[in-house]
Amino acid sequence: MTMRNIAIIAHVDHGKTTLIDELLKSSGMFRDNQKTEDRMMDSNDIERERGITILAKVTSLEHDGVRINIVDTPGHADFGGEVERILHMVDGVIVLVDAAEGPMPQTKFVVSKALKLGLRPIVAINKIDKPEQRADEVLDECFDLFANLDANEDQLDFPVLYGSAKNGWMSTDPEGPKDSLEPLFEMVIKHVPAPTVEEGEFRLLATTIQADNFLGRILTGRVIAGEVTPNMTVKALARDGSIVETGRISKVMAFRGLERTTIEKGVAGDIVSISGLQKATVADTICHPSIKDAVAAQPIDPPTLSMTFRINDSPLAGTEGDKVQSRVIRARLESEAEGNVALKVREADDADAFIVSGRGELLLSILIENMRREGFELGIGRPQVVMQEDENGKVLEPIEEVIIDVDDEYSGAVVKGMAERKGEMIDMRPSGGGRTRLIFYAPTRGLIGYQSELLSDTRGTAILNRIFHEYALHKGEIASRGTGVLLSNGDGEAVAYALWQLEDRGPMMVTPGTKVYTGMIVGEHTRGNDLEINVLKGKQLTNIRSSGKDDAVKLTTPMKLSLEEALSYIANDELVEVTPKSIRLRKILLDPNDRKRQSRAAKKSA
């Protein structure tokens, strides 16, 4: 059977997963009365909750005697490591672009990787039914993007489709016909070349890894040459050609629809999964024992952000989670780093802490969210950018390209906010519908925590997208959080009366009945210094009735920080305590005397 291997790449929320749903339905993979879910490829709980794709996944369908393997890719820049790996498995890409928003940063990032590999793109302009659609302008923007990314003549001569994935149609004409996805199937079969098959014995480049309780490691990749069968002896080669291990394949599986099914033989060109190896990982070459050279694998862009993961040592440690030991945390982080090449884990100077580096806040916060759902308790430090040095010893920091779409009236507030964070404005142009598109080059450390401030400044109307641009000279000091925090001076449960009396000190972060401890952050101080307060003090009760009516306690709604907001809110001397049930903020040193000693020591050394 002839085959086609394609990836669907686009910016977050441009409709990749929805399009794959419709392709599966129209290909006859399901019975007419079969119940199916929306976004079938988003199998992870967090993917469903947030409406984003995090892990690259493969599906397969048949059309007119041709098997089409389709890879659904993440659309967020933080998961770019996933995208870079899977591009080695495919021979063509469908670049899905929103008819109103046009090509966005993640589109640019992934398309540049695809063009470098020589993949020929098909441009599909999606959501053509939007009232604010501007398909002709978006097509011109796509051509300019490809030209700027040094696309060759074949890649610039790309075919174009228009349609609505949600309504299940694609056409070569914006006006339709609007009845099926047949034009897309035909375009894939006609435009995407069949897989290139090399001569020689079996070779496969592992691009994704998955753990299974029964089968162990499951490695997925495209068979470059030869055939693979169960019980076959193979060896794994690292990128430098050294032997990682020699073993026997226990099972060969392939994707048929949404299911991974066992097959008797994997042939060259097909995307398969194999199990049985103990040490082989992503970017390793799985091959016949006679092969000596590893398959070339593209290097992955370096991590730009790191966080310190440490054991939870607060007074409430172990009351909500069951995985609190450093050895359990270490094992979990190491297994995550095995499957996620964009993640790096190393031990910190403190024996019970680990430094985890990744592409961005979202990538690391998703890992933390997964761990807390598994029963882990952690103390997480403030995100720090990963610096580098040039040959002259000068410090280089990561710079990101930031694109902000905002209503015209708030553009001044955005420019001011970015300038305070050392952001340099590159472009400013209208983006239609009374909105302005602002493009900046800004240091990564200045963007930590900016999302929530941006939404406040623009009344929730701004959309921020960012992508790693380059390493450049350090931009100098950036002003930190302008306020101090309110700290609990005792252990117990917060009392409504005490919170009510302290409201003029600043907004609270806890509600009555919340368990607190000494050194825990319970609110934000209106001034720049930290202040210890007593949130445990109840009303003094006597046996004498007051002549007037008691004041009713009416509390202001407290600040409720999400995990990402908490991570970006804390200062360098603070931690986010993450448990399966709670997210708390605290000082690293809980004892006020220890904090004073450290402050005095810091002043002396300065």
In this structure, are 503 and 546 located in the same domain? yes
Say if residue 54 is in the same domain as residue 170. yes
Q: What is the predicted pLDDT for the residue at 47?
A: 44
Question: Which of 447, 473, 499 represents a domain boundary (last residue)?
Answer: 473
Which pLDDT does position 16 carry in this prediction? 67
Mean pLDDT value across residues 521-540: 89
Report d(CA 94, CA 141) in Å as an integer: 16
Annotated binding site: 13-18, 126-129
pLDDT of 51 higher than 50: no
Q: What is the mean pLDDT of residues 414-428?
A: 91
User: How confident is the model over 515-528, as a mean pLDDT?
Assistant: 92
One domain for residues 172 and 72? yes
- CA 515 to CA 231: how far, in whole Å? 57
Question: How far apart are alpha carbons 436 and 529 in whole angstroms?
Answer: 38
- Residue 457 belongs to a domain: yes
Last residue of a domain, one of 156, 191, 226: 191
Binding-site residues for GTP sit at 13-18, 126-129
> Given this model, what pLDDT does residue 378 score?
93
- Check residue 165 and give its pLDDT: 85
422, 509: one domain:
no
Considering the domain architecture, whether residues 65 and 207 belong to the same structural domain is answered as no
For the residues 10-25, what does the mean pLDDT come to? 73
Same domain membership, residue 594 and residue 468: no
Whether residues 531 and 566 share a domain: the answer is yes
Q: Classify residue 30 by its DSSP letter.
A: S
| Position 328 in a domain | no
pLDDT of residue 38: 44
Q: What would the mean pLDDT of 356-380 be, rounded to a whole number?
A: 87
Do 114 and 59 sit in the same domain of this protein?
yes
Give the pLDDT score at 304: 79
Question: Each residue of 531-566: pLDDT tens digit?
Answer: 999 999 887 776 666 554 556 778 888 888 888 888
For helices 182-191 and 16-26, the axis angle rounded to 10 degrees is: 100
Angle between the N-to-C axes of helices 411-420 and 450-457, in degrees from 0 to 180, rounded to the nearest 10:
150
Residue 328 reports pLDDT greater than 50 = yes
pLDDT score recorded for residue 562: 85
Domain count for the chain: 4
Three-state secondary structure call for residue 32: coil
Lowest-confidence range among 98-112, 221-235, 256-270? 98-112
Cα 185 from Cα 494, distance rounded (Å): 61
Q: Residue 573's closest CA among 480, 491, 493? A: 480
Decide: 280 and 272 in contact? Cβ < 8 Å: no
From 303, 384, 322, 332, select the one nearest 80 (Cα to Cα).
303
Instruction: List the one residue out of 303, 418, 312, 314 whose CA is nearest residue 361.
Output: 303
Q: Name which residue leads in pLDDT, 272 or 339.
A: 272
Q: What are the residues whose beta carbons fall under 8 Å from the beta carbon of 602, sequence distance 6 or more?
A: none
- Stated pTM of the model: 0.72
- For residues 5 and 86, the answer to whether their CB atoms sit within 8 Å is no
Which is more confidently placed, 341 or 488?
Answer: 488
The range of the structural domain enclosing residue 450 comes to 389-473
Task: Say which CATH number the domain at 597 has.
Answer: 2.40.50.250
108-112, 276-280, 377-381: which has the highest mean pLDDT? 377-381
Asked if residue 156 and residue 101 are part of one domain, the reply reads yes
**pLDDT per residue over 172-224, tens digit each?**
888 878 888 888 888 999 888 888 888 889 999 888 777 777 888 888 888 99
What's the CA gap between 189 and 68, in Å, rounded? 8
300 is a domain residue: no
For residues 211 and 162, state if they share a domain: no
**Amino acid, single-letter form, for residue 560:** K
The answer to whether the CB of 56 falls within 8 A of the CB of 75 is no
Q: What confidence tens digit (pLDDT) does each residue in 226-245 have?
A: 999 999 999 999 888 888 89
Is 518 within the bounds of a domain?
yes
Considering only CA atoms, give the Rg of the chain. 27
pLDDT tens string 404-413: 888 889 999 9
* pLDDT score for 40: 40
pLDDT of residue 67: 87
Residue 54, pLDDT > 60, answer no
Can you give the CATH number for the domain in which 407 is found? 3.30.70.240
Q: Where among 171, 191, 211 does a domain terminate?
A: 191
User: E strands along 284-343, which residues?
Assistant: 285-287, 305-311
Closest listed residue to residue 165, CA positions, set 139, 128, 192, 196: 128
Judgement on whether residues 165 and 16 belong to the same structural domain of the protein: yes
Res 376 pLDDT > 90:
yes
